[in-house]
Amino acid sequence: MNNTPPAGTITIAGKTVSRIGLGTMRLTGPGTWGDPADRDQAIRVLHQAVHTYGITHIDTANAYGPHTVEHLIRDALHPYPEEVLIATKVGMLRPAPDNWAPHGHPAYLRACVEASLRRLGIERLELCYLHRIDTQVPVADQIGTLQTLRDEGKIGHIGLSKIVPEDFHRVTKEITVAAVQNVLNIHQRYDPVLELCHDHGIPYVPYRPLDAGSAARGGDISTPLSWLLQLGPHIAPIPGTSSPQHLADIVNAVATGGQS
């Protein structure tokens, strides 16, 4: 494994990992649905990210596929190197391609965690995000379920995804939040939660850091990633790709121009 991860390291969920992670949503079929067109290539992207480029923060969700990417991660990387953090997300239904529906019922969240443990082949999810806060279920019930699972040893740390300041304040009063994952890129530059995370010492994980590629038109990957990294040491972007060459381009761009 490359011992020099791109853009240095950050501590997330108690583990020192590469500051540039790998988002895995694109390792599926169209509409984030079903298997990728080239399964072997998806496996290769995951393997190269960790074993060639030293990327040790792998972000996924049980909703990707659904279930597809968690199976791919296990096939590509299990048994997982000690330094690798596999972060997943629970609490989302997938009725159809491109269709996402938050579902935070306690029984469903528990079922999601149990199933992710089996698919990934592990005994504990080191970092488990609530994929979305379900407005139809009391927040205390959703967070309380994840706390119970943490107390049972099935979750190590709890994260939040796509939240607003009100959510941040409400949840951080009750639990220690290990990371926050919101959209942020050079086209969507403002998120008030960014500063809240900085002030509370919480890692901020921008998803869609390249805005599905539109932030890197003309082949310039380094500028949008450099802009994110320079926002603060608590920033840990998770660019995604299904292409080994694009992965190499991302790593090279960060190595030559993306460090803060």
Per the residue annotation, which of 64, 80, 108, 129 is the catalytic one? 64
Q: What strands lie across the sheet with 155-161, from one edge to the other? A: 22-23, 57-59, 85-90, 125-130, 155-161, 177-183, 204-207
Q: How does strand 9-12 pair with strand 15-18?
A: antiparallel
Q: Say if CB 154 and CB 117 are below 8 A apart.
A: yes
Indicate if 190 belongs to the active site: no
Residue 81 buriedness (CB in 10 A; 0-12 / 13-18 / 19+) = exposed
Phi/psi region, residue 150 (left: phi>0; alpha: psi -120 to 50; beta: rest), is alpha
Is the bond into 192 cis (omega within 30 degrees of 0)? no
Q: Which sequence positions are flagged as catalytic?
A: 64
